[in-house]
Structure 1
């Protein structure tokens, strides 16, 4: 293998962050897509603001706060769905190609890991629900550091644990800002541009861009 470890962001990369809302879209009404987009955007915004202030809050707390903001910003959404939406977030669907790609990489002898802003319980529950727990060598959460990506200490958890240099790691994420942070740290990065988004960080370019995880095993 060209890389000793293949490390994946979780939300948006392995797990579909919009699956929770999609499950209840009919009951949420015509603004369900907008609701889901705001939920994700606020979840990330709160993590960045907390990291900058050095006032850490658990990612699940931020997820709850972001959902409450959604209900305030999208008044058409039925607030009685709050508990069901939160429950669904613990069991997000993984993208269809994920199990096969991880299986192929595992068969080639690579170490596989998740590196995420999610807390350990969230990540373990998502991996179990997706049926990929047995394929993973490690799940890295930011929680022990009490900060969030793109703090370089988050990426350093991988190299410290596996005792390898950054260039021995291939890091995959659907979040362009995360790819920028991992590139700055020294990882080989692959951007999963699932939604055909523009490149916002041209000075911190990924080594490759894919529409999904298919094709990852063919990259060198």
Structure 2
């Protein structure tokens, strides 16, 4: 690999398209609970962590079992388990938490990063487990709709990432080879699936988590999306 190509792989410069995971990558999945942390009490972070963990677990179990249920439904089911695990938390907060999840905060660097990449001539897309309605609401609430060219939801396939067909939504719809697409996710398991598919992958390791899946290593690791502009 020559020096210019090596820089591209490490820093994400020069790709025809940048495809982003949504939840945890563009949108802060814990912001819904933080908005109500006072009402939730001292266990709010553990509650939020469990909500996210169960939400993801349910996607994998349903995909492997061939029993698809959409992401909005799984988000509600995961929340109900959290209330069962934390019976001291007032269940009347359920509706408020679900509303907050539909309008998650985006991470502070997102607008500038997306705008800069578009100015460089790249196409910008989202590829997510979220339903089209969920993604439309999240994008609108974050005010980044003008910075996104395409939004791809696995709901059209009825199977979740890391199924190869989920990543193929991007190549087929954008008319690009996998090698011409840079894929960004905060989820290491998602990076593993995208790398297996053939994307150049950038792991946005916001939490400083240890690496996994060494045979499916990311091409770059950044603490925020600003690493794409370095």
Structure 1 unaligned segments of length 5 or more: list them. none
Partners of 2:72 and 2:186 in 1: CA distance: 20
2:183 corresponding residue in structure 1:
171
Measured in 1, the distance between the counterparts of 2:86 and 2:203 equals 31
Q: CA RMSD in A?
A: 0.7
| Distance (whole Å) between structure 1 residues aligned to residue 17 and residue 111 of structure 2 | 17
| Aligned match for 2:201, one of 189, 195, 198 | 189
- Aligned position for 2:118: 106
What does residue 66 of structure 2 align with? Answer: 54
> Could you list the runs of 4 or more consecutive aligned residues of structure 1 that deviate by over 4 angstroms after TM superposition?
none
TM superposition shift of 1:106 = 0.7
Unaligned ranges ≥5, structure 2: 1-12
Deviation at 1:75, TM superposition (A): 1.6
Q: How does 1:63-212 map to 2 (within 5 A)?
A: 63-212=75-224
Q: What CA deviation, in whole Å up to 9, does each residue of 1:120-175 have, x standing for no partner? A: 00001000110111111100000010000000000001110111110000000000
Paired residues, what number?
A: 218
1:119 and 1:215 map into 2 onto residues whose CA distance is 28
Corresponding residue to 1:41 among 53, 65, 68: 53
